[in-house]
Structure 1
Amino acid sequence: MESNIVIRPCTTLDEFTQCIELQKAVWGDSDRELVPQHIFVVAVKTGGQVFGAYDGDRLVGYLLAMVGVKEKRVFIHSHMTGVHPEYQNYGIGKRLKLAQRDDAIARGIDLIEWTFDPLKLRNAYFNIVRLGAIIRTYLPNVYGQTSSHLDRGMPTDRFVAEWWITSPRVQNILAGQPYAPSANCQRVYVPAQEQTIDGQSELRQRFQTLFAQGSAVTWLEVQSGGIEYLLEPWAN
């Protein structure tokens, strides 16, 4: 299936409407929480990115990103990346991210950021192990309560993934060379079963403490019944 998928920019109102319909299928958001069409228009017109994954004429995945500025550095904030449930596990999400990376590099941008739920372990594996992102920021309940079935009524705590797209670390990981964390790295175990609010609160406190001490999540290991986030000192 993957060989039939074409990744290309989305630029028309009809294509943006398809993205909104796909948003419903992927996240299950209520109409009031859907990202509206005009945001896609503004993103494209102000230097952001909208990429679509197409199986023939059918949109099966998309990526929406905006341009940001932080401490005089221009970066890309990747707001949404989603693939239709029928097309997941075929590498489409990674192809969308690589298209995003290629476009950013061509424009002289070296950092792409996005948020993700620390409790979504498959997503964490994709972001850290397959793409090479690091994490050193934990945002509590950043979006408030949502209608998405993925959040299950929990506080929307999020990691901020930093993808330094021209760094040797990322280049090596994308080339298939696993990262080797230091032997004395710190580990935080997260079980695969659904977490309670109390469990989420404990993890929030643990990560915020470690990040305040200058550590970053640099790798992830799959363990029996869950994963371990691996953290090391990160100076730059």
Structure 2
Amino acid sequence: MSEPVTDPVAGPLAEIVADVLPADVPEAVIGDVIAELLPAEGPQVLADDPVEAAAAITELVEAATRQVFAPDPLADPVAALTTPAPEPADPATSAAARAGVDIRPVDTHVDVAAAVSVLDGVFAPGAGHHFYPPSLLRNLLAAGAPMLLAWDNEMPVGVVLALPGWTASGQPLVQSGPMAVLPTARGRGVSVALKLAQRAWAIDRGVTEIRWTFDAMAAVNANLNLRRLGATVEAFLPGYEGLRDADSHTPLPYDRLLVAWHLTGTPAVPAEGAGTLVWAVAAARDGLPVLDPTWAAAPAALVTVPADISALRRDDPAAASAWQHAVGAVLQEALAAGWQAGWDPRGAYRLTPPPTH
């Protein structure tokens, strides 16, 4: 966040900004946008001539609220002219209402600043640098990337990024990227609302599949993706993010699961399995993981993960690494052998072997 302007024209300029901008735009977001658009020599240039400064700020603020050029590579231009716009998908609308948010596309510089502020608040708090710089988001928008913001009145509280693309067979695909919800807005279903809005965006463009990866050790993410949304685990990707940053809490690169969210038909639900469940990975009394090597012969297996892997990585990196080794070994072996992975309400992956013929 830039330092506030303290020169004599600050008061009048604030009034001009208030007159130009919609009333529901957060002040913090506008401050970031204006700071970014100001000349490199800084706010002191505003003190030269109040009239010129007022005109300059007016122009800057108007530029900030202009739309970012965002072509839609998955849209059908002919259908757009001949087909009425579809009604919003009921699940997405209902989810947003339950979460108490309004979900809108990112399409102006103000929206970009809002998205950056949410991403920074979740992924880079106090870091002194952006998690994703505004220029990157603007370039993604220029390529037609769908980005959605969740607004709680005038406050941006959640964002999900994505890229349009195509499968190996040439079918349209949405590759979903980072999703962030501010801590003050969690527990309300904002993540579900964002994903369902993303789903509606994709369906409107004839897309039948959304893919993304998530931290295999993150219980909250696994519950959302596999149990609540019904995505299907496609693969285990060890060390997907490469070498960790120097300030990482764990020496290991994070393992990730690749999931596919099929938007047509009934979501695939892994079979419950019959017989006795085996805890392939469970927590011992000392909090470390215990592996049961007989899991591969069981009719179904559970793989527990820590309830808060982020806290464990921060407070006990050695224990976090032990958990990642144990969980990753089982998930990698099971998925490579054709087992299906779902999420069990007991806080564990539920693995079921492939059907026998």
Shorter-chain TM-score bucket reads 0.7 to 0.9
Structure holding more strand per residue:
1
Residue aligning to 2:207 = 109
Report the AA paired with residue 69 of structure 1: W
Residue aligning to 1:227 = 348
Matches within 5 A, 1:66-85: 66-72=163-169, 73-85=171-183
Residue aligning to 1:174 = none
Residue aligning to 1:183 = 273
Distance 2:191 2:266 in 1: 22
TM-score (structure 1 length as normaliser): 0.83
Distance 2:192 2:128 in 1: 28
Report the AA paired with residue 330 of structure 2: R
Kept in 2, the 8 Å contact 1:111–1:163? The answer is yes
Kept in 2, the 8 Å contact 1:27–1:148? The answer is no
Q: Given the alignment, which residue of 33, 44, 47 partners 2:141?
A: 44
Kept in 1, the 8 Å contact 2:339–2:352? The answer is yes
Residue 165 of structure 1 and its aligned partner are, at CA, apart by: 1.4
Classify 1:180/1:159 alpha carbon distance in 2 versus 1 (closer, same or farther; 3 Å): closer
Matches within 5 A, 1:129-208: 129-143=227-241, 144-146=243-245, 152=250, 154-169=252-267, 179=269, 181-184=271-274, 186-192=300-306, 194=312, 195-208=319-332
Report the AA paired with residue 102 of structure 2: V
* Pairing 1:65–2:162 present: yes
Which range moves more in the overlay, 140-149 or 75-84? 140-149
Residue 87 of structure 1 and its aligned partner are, at CA, apart by: 0.3
Residue aligning to 1:216 = 340
Residue 260 of structure 2: SS of its match in structure 1? strand
Classify 1:146/1:24 alpha carbon distance in 2 versus 1 (closer, same or farther; 3 Å): farther
Residue 48 of structure 1: SS of its match in structure 2? coil
Superposed CA offset, 1:52-110 (max 9, x none): 00112211101110023331232111111111100001111111111100110111111
Residue 40 of structure 1 and its aligned partner are, at CA, apart by: 2.0
Residue aligning to 1:7 = 103
Residue 168 of structure 1: SS of its match in structure 2? coil
Residue 44 of structure 1: SS of its match in structure 2? helix
Kept in 1, the 8 Å contact 2:272–2:300? The answer is no
Distance 2:130 2:176 in 1: 17
Classify 1:148/1:122 alpha carbon distance in 2 versus 1 (closer, same or farther; 3 Å): farther
Residue aligning to 2:119 = 23
Superposed CA offset, 1:186-226 (max 9, x none): 32322425453133122222222222222231x21132xx4
Residue 229 of structure 1 and its aligned partner are, at CA, apart by: 2.6
Gaps of 5+ in 1: 171-178
Q: Given the alignment, which residue of 123, 126, 144 partners 2:224?
A: 126
Residue 2 of structure 1 and its aligned partner are, at CA, apart by: 4.5
Distance 2:161 2:236 in 1: 22
Classify 1:182/1:130 alpha carbon distance in 2 versus 1 (closer, same or farther; 3 Å): same
Higher RCO, Cα 8 Å, sep 6+: 1
Kept in 1, the 8 Å contact 2:99–2:190? The answer is no
Report the AA paired with residue 67 of structure 1: P
Kept in 1, the 8 Å contact 2:98–2:189? The answer is yes
Kept in 2, the 8 Å contact 1:49–1:66? The answer is yes
Please report the RMSD computed on the Cα atoms of aligned residues, expressed in angstroms. 2.5
Select the structure of larger CA radius of gyration. Answer: 2
Residue 148 of structure 1 and its aligned partner are, at CA, apart by: 8.2
Report the AA paired with residue 349 of structure 2: E
Report the AA paired with residue 134 of structure 2: Q
Q: Given the alignment, which residue of 11, 20, 35 partners 2:132?
A: 35
